[in-house]
Chain A
Amino acid sequence: MSLTTPSEPGPPPAPEAGPSAGGAANGPSNDAPPRPPFAQDWRRIARMGAIGAIGQIFISLSNMPVKLDGRAIIEGVLSLGYLSLVVLPLAAGSRVGHQLRREGVPFHRPGAHEVIGGAACGALVGGGLSLLAILIANFDLREPLVNWSPILADLLAFNRGTAFAVLIWLAIGAAVGAAGGLLRVVPPAARRVLSTMVLTLFGAAVLESLTTDLAEGMGIEGLIEWFYAPRGGLTITGAIALAAGSGVLAFVARGRVKGAKARIDALEGPARNRAHLGLIMATAAVLVILPMFAGKLTNELLANVGLFVLLALGLNIVVGLAGILDLGYVAFFAVGSYSAAVLTAATSPKIHPELPWFVALIGVVVLTGLVGLFIGAPVIRMRGDYLAIVTLGFGEIIRLLFLSDWLSGWFGGSQGITNIPGAEIFGLAEVAGTDPRSVFYLVLAFCAIAIYVSWRLERSRIGRAWMAVREDETVAEAMGINTVNVKLLAFVVGAVLGSFSGAIFSAKVGSVFPASFLILVSIVILVVVIFGGMGNIVGVIAGSAVLIGVLGGPKQPGLLAEFSEFKLLIYGALLVWMMLARPEGLIPSVRRTRELHQEELAQDAWLRGQTEDEQDEGQP
């Protein structure tokens, strides 16, 4: 399970909740009476407890609890630091009661068994911290483990001594684990209401700076002051009000949202297009109006998210549609930034045509396209792992070229190029980094272009050829597709979209340095695409919003600025969890889901097909 709550604040059993909830409603025949409360599978509990305990110790020693203690979720009750210590007991407590629902295998109705098992497992997980408290009190391991400190000990003991720490974490673990087990017992409707409440509270706490900022823009600070404590975090009254409100809302709206979605999905032809158009227009309207009320920080954040959306959409074409695993995508971001800088800045060392930004953009597109061709031509002939490794190399080569002495006459080496003017749009407006709102609008416009390009190309002859190449390159070639050209085209289109992001980036920041284009950027964009849902435009946008917006980009702070130190740890944990629990991503493309669950689906389809074919044979 993940080490963090931020992106999966709902109860971890959510993935299983669906099928078991559906099954319970239908009253399947293999329902069995609840298991007796104390006939537990102790080995399983011990195993999960031990793993959880190690996880807890790891989290503590990563210094996350101490660092994040400063950020309050609910004033005086819960901080992000302590939250990071109750996630694992909850997850383990819930997981230990998990049963597979399979044909022919009895499914025991959840009851006291699950709660007691959860409590036992949670206590073990919590016991990891008790153990750590004892160890810190008796040994000094500060030498290798820098966070082995009295501060951590005090945090664990709530400043009341080691004995208290030992007891309290066993108790907290047991309580939280029991709560996790209880999640399996309560009916699905209640679980939904509960998870909505938790999500709302957590969301409100995380989005604090955003909502405060917006409220100031709209002139309703008074309301916000009632919800948020002066030093951050929700006030207790505010939290209760929010929980109650969202709970009631979830109860009233139960099933309605899903129903509405199902109705839209069931629409056909023009009606469906109209519904989708309506949704898109509404989203666009919100995105256009929202920044007007938002302050600098929020707009800055939105602009950063937008830049990564643009990059992720470009990479999505390469990885998601054409199936070319490009680990050096940052190269195109870099080339876009540098070419825009050289073409617009007066301070560019070698040539400085000082073109207006929009004119320079043409040059940027042409140059990046050429670089895409130049890198792509040798790379594209390789397949699979080899291709990935070579792209990784090219990504670094481009950065090192910009850094090198050899080209420092052109690009300024490690000094980079500074004083890049803002983007001037036909003399109508000047978009500079000092005005994040206008930057956001510029990014938004280019995101719209990128979305349109992705959407149109996917539904064209070229998009189908990309899919065919992704499915089976040999067969695609045998079916008359020039795989080299088609893959090269994907590479170049992706490169051009990435270069837009680069060109806006250089105008926004006002300077470019080789250090802005580390390999880490490539990895983060790839993680965004995978996390969001490869091959799906909405998924990619959602991925950027969650990862870049909440956790922050490679150098850009997110809403949880406190996380910056643990960003990569959390990225990694999220990615691992995602690959295990939901490999198709946050908002998957239908195709991708099918691909990953093909075997299960094929089996169902085969069963259905059996009967259909028998009918077919009967007909002439």
Chain B
Amino acid sequence: MIEVRNINKTFHVPHEVKALVDVSTKIAPGEVVVVCGPSGSGKSTLLRCLNRLEHADSGHILIDGIDVLDPKTNINKLRAEVGMVFQSFNLFPHKTVLDNITLAQRVVRKRSKSDALEKANMLLKKVGIQDKSGAFPDNLSGGQQQRVAIARALAMDPKVMLFDEPTSALDPEMIGEVLDVMKTLATEGMTMVVVTHEMGFAREVADRVIFMDAGAIVEVGTPEHFFVNPTHERTKLFLSQIL
């Protein structure tokens, strides 16, 4: 489904930082991969490279056989297949919940208004906030906003969902409702790449955990392997700090 081969990314502003160093991995269809690591380890950059929100300097990224970094690739078409959920939700504040979910369906997928609305209502029901369809994002709680954001991404019928620290900006009591939605998605067989600090989620839902540090993948393994007997010192230190 996703193949990452030797990608590198260096930020030059405000000062030179090697965000990704020779990163390679493969993600199979239906797999749920949790990427964790200390802040600044490059996990968000890796995720953002997958749909070219960041442009990797070198290497190859293939999603469903399509070369993400090839300038000839229709990036908009590709992005429609790759859903993304952000830490700060990034809902469109000038549009209602319903309009947030129908906008891209209509302008990108060219769906009719009724089809888009039907899809939106179905997804709102799925994420448990069908009663908020007419509300504006600013009037929703963080947890509700993030669930709308998930519904907005799902409305495009993506093949892959990328989650960039989806619960980091939430009050603790709202984390559960968002994770529940993500768990449901996982059980339905969605391919997911999740950058998160929620180790409970990783342990319970992930097929594989990738641990990154200083822009490189340090350790990859099943949750059992990762949490019970990690091999690298750096991993052990990280786990001892957060568990």
A pairs with B: no
